[in-house]
Structure 1
Amino acid sequence: MIAVELLIEAARDLANAGRWDRATALLDAAHADLPPGAEARAPAARLALAAAQVSVDAGWFTGGADEGARLSKVDEYALDPVQRWDLDFAWVRYEYRQHLGRPDRNVRRQAERLAGSAPDPVRRGWAHHYLGLIADNLFDERSEAPAHYETALADAGDDLLLRREALRHLGDHDHEAGDHDRARARWQEATEAGARAGFVPGTLSQQMLLAVLARDAGDEAGATALATEIARWARAIGSARTAAQAEAFLTGVDPTQPPPPPEDE
């Protein structure tokens, strides 16, 4: 059982480094190697859940493929309450991405439920973080989001990725309010937290915001140089979303603006 947890931790490190295919292959191989019988059901559930979580992580940066199928597969297992919470939260993350730029009350209700039922402060912080994202990017309720990010930051504890996310989005609101010094401080701290966690694609996307500040300060040469390298690195690791964002920035697009609604809306 300990070996399974260590393997899952290693797969998460691979995913944080942008090696989503390798993380998934490792988890799938371990799952296939389990012996038949009741004793294998608990580790099988943990491996399937971890693979689904990695697929959601990958989907954000690469555009996604099989997240829904993998999430549905986990429902075949008997999950304990914490695993059930984690699966439901993975569904919220997945559905949030599917509804970017358009309101969805069900996603918000599910995130609110998870915030109220979280088994520990870090998970509660993650649920509140997504409530902030939902307010910002699904409902365009900009004034409602920062309180959720503040809760996430307070609950982050030793979770560097949650700390990075909360600081990133609080800095976005500082930037929008014209407080560029505070935005810079938060974005720099977020970049450091992501790097300390080994979060390669997230560190690249965070550096995009530092390029925004360089452009704001009139340093177009610095902004262009940074964005060019971000695009190069992001393409190299398969982070198509970050690469496209960097390339759009080079044409003058502001990545801090909310996503546009889908063309068919």
Structure 2
Amino acid sequence: MTTTATIALDELLAAARGLALAGRWEQATGLLDAAAAGLSHSPTRAVLALAAAEIAVDSAWYNGNGDGADRLSTVDENALDDNGRWDLGFARLRYEYRGKMRKPDPALRDRAERFIATAPDGLRLGWAHHYLGLIYDNVLEDRAAAPAHYERALANAAGDDLLRREAQRHLGDHAHEAGNHAEARERWHEATALGARAGLVAGTLSQQVLLAVLARDTGDEPGAVALATEVHRWAEAIGAARIAQTTSDFLQGIDPTQPPPA
């Protein structure tokens, strides 16, 4: 016997995003794909495809899977409203950013600035500033220009633990680089708690790697090793391959806050 159930679109999207935050990326996109399967080219199908593409872009940071480009290319942009088109363009920027790290490209900065200029609300404005900060840090390697954009992201993060977490994570990185361990610890502790509260399992693990770095830097090598070992165990268990590799490298003495050798 076949049973059909109806679920509101917002609830379906929230469920898929909750699965993705928990590190169940394939289940999340599978749920969205199943919901879209019976739909023709429609606004609802486009929204579901966009959500699946955003999850694919996010998951690549943790599991290294590479279907983000394919998913982004199949979203029916014409079926989206203005906010959806902004989100799709921004997801494409985020995907491209990952491929441009350590490869200076001023055009990527210009695109991020356009998203700042066209952001339809404060939260999207905060995310656009955050990514401009990342581009300054990791594409243009202009470290001095990045913190002001993380501060703007933080100022626009009300009600969004994930954006606040990201801003505090990267502001903590700059404090760590400056040798201000007290500020780095405060920001990284908050980032860890925010990620946990949002249900961001893989991100909370990656944040604890930074706390292990700080433990090593302040002379607590046994604590650093114990924390990194446990994070490694969790990362392998949930399939977060990139975090597992980072912790493995850390246990071999490699500092993940430093850029790779040229």
* 2:101 aligned counterpart, secondary structure: coil
C-alpha displacement of 1:260: 4.9
**Residues in 2 aligned to 1:224 and 1:194: alpha-carbon distance in whole angstroms:** 22
TM-fit CA distance, 1:133: 0.5
Q: In structure 2, how many angstroms separate the alpha carbons of the residues matched to 1:259 and 1:53? A: 27
Q: Secondary structure at the match of 2:79?
A: coil
Q: What does residue 145 of structure 1 align with?
A: 146
Q: Give the TM-score of the pair, scaled to structure 1.
A: 0.94
Which consecutive aligned stretches of 4+ in structure 1 deviate over 4 angstroms post-superposition?
Answer: none
Matched, 1:97 2:98: yes
- Residues of 1 paired with 2:119 and 2:145: CA distance? 21
Structure 2 unaligned segments of length 5 or more: list them: 1-5
Match of 2:70 in 1: 69
Give 1:167's aligned amino acid. Answer: Q
State the alpha-carbon separation in 2 of the partners of residues 46 and 260 from structure 1.
Answer: 41
1:6 to 6, 11, 26: 11
Could you tell me how far 1:224 is from its partner in structure 2? 0.3
Q: Write the letter of the residue equivalent to 1:27.
A: L
Query: Does the CA-based 8 Å contact 2:29-2:52 persist in structure 1?
Result: yes
Instruction: Quote the offset at 1:77 in angstroms.
Output: 4.1
Pairwise CA distance, 1:213: 1.0
Q: Deviations over 1:195-250 (max 9, x none)?
A: 00000000000001110111011111110010011111111111111111111010
Alpha-carbon separation, structure 2, partners of 1:153 and 1:258: 25
CA apart distance, 1:60:
1.3
Whether the aligned pair in 1 keeps the contact of 2:172 and 2:184 (CA below 8 Å) is yes
User: What is the aligned length?
Assistant: 257
Q: Give the corresponding residue for 1:116.
A: 117
User: After the TM superposition, which residues 167-182 of structure 1 pair with which residues of structure 2 at under 5 Å, given as runs?
Assistant: 167-182=168-183
Structure 1 contact 100–137 (Cα < 8 Å) conserved: yes
Alignment-derived partner of residue 85 in structure 2? 84
Deviation at 1:61, TM superposition (A): 1.1
C-alpha deviations, 1:58-98, integer Å up to 9, x for none? 11111122111110111454221100000011001100001
Following superposition of structure 1 onto structure 2, how do residues 1-265 of structure 1 map, counting pairs within 5 Å? 3-34=8-39, 36=40, 41-75=42-76, 77-260=78-261
Amino acid at match of 2:79: A
SS in 2 for 1:127: helix
> Which structure's relative contact order is higher, taking Cα pairs within 8 Å and 6+ residues apart?
1
Give distance in 2, aligned partners of 1:98 and 1:220: 33
Structure 2 Cα separation of the partners of residues 240 and 2 of structure 1:
33
Q: Give the Å deviation of 1:42.
A: 1.4
TM-score normalized by the length of structure 2:
0.95
Is the 1:149–1:169 contact (alpha carbons within 8 Å) kept by the matching residues of 2?
Answer: yes
